[in-house]
Amino acid sequence: MTYASALPGQPRGGTIGGPATDRAVCVLAPNASPMTLDGTNTWIVAEPDSDLAVVIDPGPLDDTHLEEVIATAERAGRRIALTLLTHGHPDHAEGAARFAELTRTSVRALDPALRLGDEGLELGDVITTGGLELRVVPTPGHTADSLSFHLPADGAVLTGDTVLGRGTTVVAHPDGRLGDYLDSLRRLRSLAVDDGVDTVLPGHGPVLNDARGAVEYYLAHRANRLAQVETAVEDGYGTPSEVVAHVYADVDRSLWPAAELSVRAQLDYLREHGLI
């Protein structure tokens, strides 16, 4: 067994950008950082025989990147007909208005403030542009407006920041809530168990070949962290920053501000359930 195959979700090796499934191509944005990993994955999704494409998460406001997304679609003989957002964080959505201007497309999102056009996105919506079938899956928790998109023809789900290709995500308190996030992970596990989803196309990091394994790792990780936070509070670590320094001592200190958001969400969850 190789090291890569032992990692949660079986992340693919090689470069992150390029074709990922029969219908999905990644264009990697040049915004790598400790929080964005290798950069934001902008996804171009289309039926193999269609001349129309859907773009998910144009990414940051970077004309070079946005123009490369358009050029990638055009090289495949496709015109971008619709823009979708998984959520409103700037590394995913800041470039959406400019991208809509360049492509003359509408922008659909759960949050009305992010939409350009009359249509939003809700549970039960199915995107059918160019014969494509993308099913909207609400997955709040990282943020209140987080969505995933189920691509049944490829047995894949595009998860934004709900599941990453490497590491784990932040529950961005106060907008993000841990209870919602755990429910969203269980919803994604159901897609893997009941609907044949085996591939995760994340908002950052490599493609994952074992969707169920990735989601179950996330659920176990969250349960473990929650227990650690509960124990830390019982041991007298009273503030979120004290809990972070104790529980996340093995995490790069540059990530502690983000870890504190998750700790605040964990503390809220523990209080709501009468555990602290």
Q: Indicate the length of the chain as a whole number.
A: 276
In the DSSP assignment, the letter for residue 162 is S
Is residue 117 in some structural domain?
yes
Is residue 36 in some structural domain?
yes
Domain region containing 153: 18-212
**Please, is 82 exposed, middle or buried when counting C-beta atoms within 10 Å of its C-beta (0-12, 13-18, 19+)?**
buried
pLDDT tops 60 at residue 5: no
Neighbours of 276 (CB within 10 A): 14
Is residue 225 in some structural domain?
no
What is the CATH classification number for the domain harbouring 98?
A: 3.60.15.10
Q: How far, in Å, CA of 37 to CA of 155, rounded?
A: 25
Is residue 112 in some structural domain?
yes
For residue 6, name the pLDDT band (cuts at 50, 70, 90). Answer: low
* pLDDT, average across residues 5-27: 92
Q: What is the pLDDT of residue 192?
A: 98
Percent share of the chain, pLDDT over 90:
96
Domain count for the chain, please give it: 1
Q: What is the pLDDT of residue 213?
A: 98
Is residue 97 in some structural domain?
yes
Output the six-digit token pair for 221.
Answer: 């990780």
Q: Please name which of 126, 125, 85, 127 lies closest in space to residue 107, comparing C-alpha atoms.
A: 85
* pLDDT, average across residues 132-137: 98
* pLDDT, average across residues 164-193: 97
pTM of the model: 0.95
Do 39 and 31 contact (CB within 8 A), yes or no? yes
Q: How far, in Å, CA of 86 to CA of 139, rounded?
A: 9
Q: What is the pLDDT of residues 218-255, one digit of tens each?
A: 999 999 999 999 999 999 998 999 999 999 998 899 99
Q: What is the pLDDT of residue 91?
A: 98
Q: How far, in Å, CA of 246 to CA of 133, rounded?
A: 46
For residue 161, name the pLDDT band (cuts at 50, 70, 90). Answer: very high
